[in-house]
């Protein structure tokens, strides 16, 4: 049992004093009045004074608990209904892909985003954004417990080109805010304090297969229940054909509660579940590389 120190002892002492005072007052009501009806009236008055506030407090607690339970059941039922449409649809896979095109970059989440029920990217609340999102596509995956997904890394250990046997793309093209496309490549054998990817403005053709994402906003009432959705699309830019897509939904069961310094969306559950390796951090990459399979020696 968790002990809270001197403060807990003081609270216990106050509680016992309260009970003792109530018992003494009730005894006085039954002992000092001479007539039996007076005893009853005074005893009932004491009971009402002491017990009614306790009853009201307990009734209010029960009402709050029932309201929270009803809201949770409503939110969970909505989440379960949305999850029926979650998952991936793969129309075509491609082998030996050297690089991909990011039509947009997943933004880095802020503390205010995690507290916002209308945050556009809440469907995948734990995914890394900004530079980490770009870098995830040129990281190599290390499998620890196959067939489960592993973890991603860019650092070269300097032994026998070990990275050539691990899945990862050779480059990633990124459409950036200035209207130009930049090509990022992994940089091997660099000191830890230096960046592990290079960046250069692209003048030639971009990668054929593009990655994009869109928050699901067709059901704005979902956000009142802290339910959010996100779809990632893989497109063949040569014919503007979507070759695969995957949808996730998330549900914040605390409905934005900040108690205990919570960052609400980071406590959300997701369907499909993100449980293997670093899938919650790199959900998009881990979906894309199953459709656009990296060339073996990228």
- pLDDT of res. 181: 94
Residue 22 pLDDT class (50, 70, 90 cuts): low
- pLDDT of res. 190: 55
pLDDT digits (tens, 9 = 90+) for 69-114: 888 899 999 999 999 999 999 999 999 999 999 999 999 999 999 9
> Is residue 249 a part of any domain in this protein?
yes
> Is residue 80 a part of any domain in this protein?
no
Q: Are 282 and 246 in a shared domain? A: yes
Q: Are 244 and 102 in a shared domain? A: yes
pLDDT digits (tens, 9 = 90+) for 133-159: 999 998 888 777 777 777 787 655 444
Residue 216 pLDDT class (50, 70, 90 cuts): confident
- pLDDT of res. 69: 82
Q: Are 170 and 213 in a shared domain? A: yes
Q: Are 151 and 271 in a shared domain? A: yes
- pLDDT of res. 41: 73
Strands 227-236 and 209-216: antiparallel
Q: Which two structure tokens, joined as six digits, stand for 155?
A: 């650092």
User: CA 142, CA 153: separation in Å to the nearest integer?
Assistant: 7
Q: Are 270 and 232 in a shared domain? A: yes
Higher pLDDT, 276 or 221: 221
Report the pLDDT averaged over residues 27-31: 71
> Is residue 140 a part of any domain in this protein?
yes
- Bridge-partner residues for 116, per DSSP? none
> Is residue 78 a part of any domain in this protein?
no
pLDDT digits (tens, 9 = 90+) for 223-248: 989 999 999 999 999 999 999 999 99
Check: CB of residue 238 under 8 Å from CB of residue 246.
Answer: no
> Is residue 17 a part of any domain in this protein?
yes
pTM of the full structure: 0.75
Q: Are 58 and 179 in a shared domain? A: no
Say if residue 210 is exposed, middle or buried (CB neighbours under 10 Å; 0-12, 13-18, 19+): buried
- Split into its structural domains, the chain has a count of 2
Q: Which two structure tokens, joined as six digits, stand for 268?
A: 């959300």
Please give, one letter per residue, the 3-state secondary structure of 225-263: HCEEEEEEEEEECCCCEEEEEEEEEEECCCCCCCHHHCC
Q: Are 183 and 232 in a shared domain? A: yes
Q: Are 150 and 209 in a shared domain? A: yes
Question: CA torsion sign, 113 to 118 to 120 to 121?
Answer: positive
Q: Are 33 and 124 in a shared domain? A: no
> Is residue 99 a part of any domain in this protein?
yes
Q: Are 60 and 93 in a shared domain? A: no
**Whether the predicted pLDDT of 169 surpasses 70:** yes
Q: Is 29 helix (H, G, I), strand (E, B) or coil?
A: helix
Which structural domain range is residue 90 located in? 85-294
Q: Are 128 and 178 in a shared domain? A: yes
- pLDDT of res. 158: 46
Q: Are 169 and 246 in a shared domain? A: yes
> Is residue 74 a part of any domain in this protein?
no
Cα-based distances in Å from 260 to 79, 257, 263? 24, 9, 9
């Amino acid at each position: 049992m968790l002990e809270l120190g001197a403060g807990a002892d003081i609270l216990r002492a106050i509680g016992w004093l309260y009970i003792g005072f109530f018992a003494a007052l009730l005894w006085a009501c039954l002992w000092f009045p001479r007539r039996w009806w007076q005893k009853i009236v005074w005893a009932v008055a004491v009971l009402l004074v002491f017990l009614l506030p306790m009853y009201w407090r307990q009734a209010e607690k029960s009402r709050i608990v029932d309201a929270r339970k009803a809201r949770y059941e409503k939110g969970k039922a909505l989440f379960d209904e949305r999850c029926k449409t979650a998952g991936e649809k793969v129309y075509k896979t491609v082998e030996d892909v050297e690089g991909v095109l990011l039509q947009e970059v997943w933004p880095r989440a802020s503390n205010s985003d995690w507290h916002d029920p209308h945050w556009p990217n809440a469907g995948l609340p734990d995914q890394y954004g900004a530079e980490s999102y770009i870098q995830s596509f040129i990281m190599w995956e290390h499998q620890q417990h196959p067939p489960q997904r592993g973890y991603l890394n860019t650092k070269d250990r300097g032994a026998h080109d070990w990275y050539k046997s691990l899945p990862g793309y050779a480059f990633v093209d990124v459409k950036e805010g200035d209207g130009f496309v930049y090509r990022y490549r992994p940089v091997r054998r660099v000191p830890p304090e230096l960046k592990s990817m290079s960046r250069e403005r692209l003048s030639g053709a971009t990668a054929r297969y593009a990655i994009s994402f869109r928050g699901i906003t067709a059901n704005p009432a979902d956000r009142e229940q802290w339910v959010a959705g996100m779809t990632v699309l893989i497109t063949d830019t040569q014919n503007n054909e979507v070759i695969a897509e995957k949808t996730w939904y998330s549900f914040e069961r605390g409905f934005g509660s900040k108690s205990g310094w919570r960052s609400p969306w980071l406590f959300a559950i997701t369907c499909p579940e993100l449980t293997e390796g670093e899938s919650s951090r790199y959900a998009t990459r881990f979906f894309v590389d199953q459709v656009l399979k990296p060339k073996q020696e990228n």
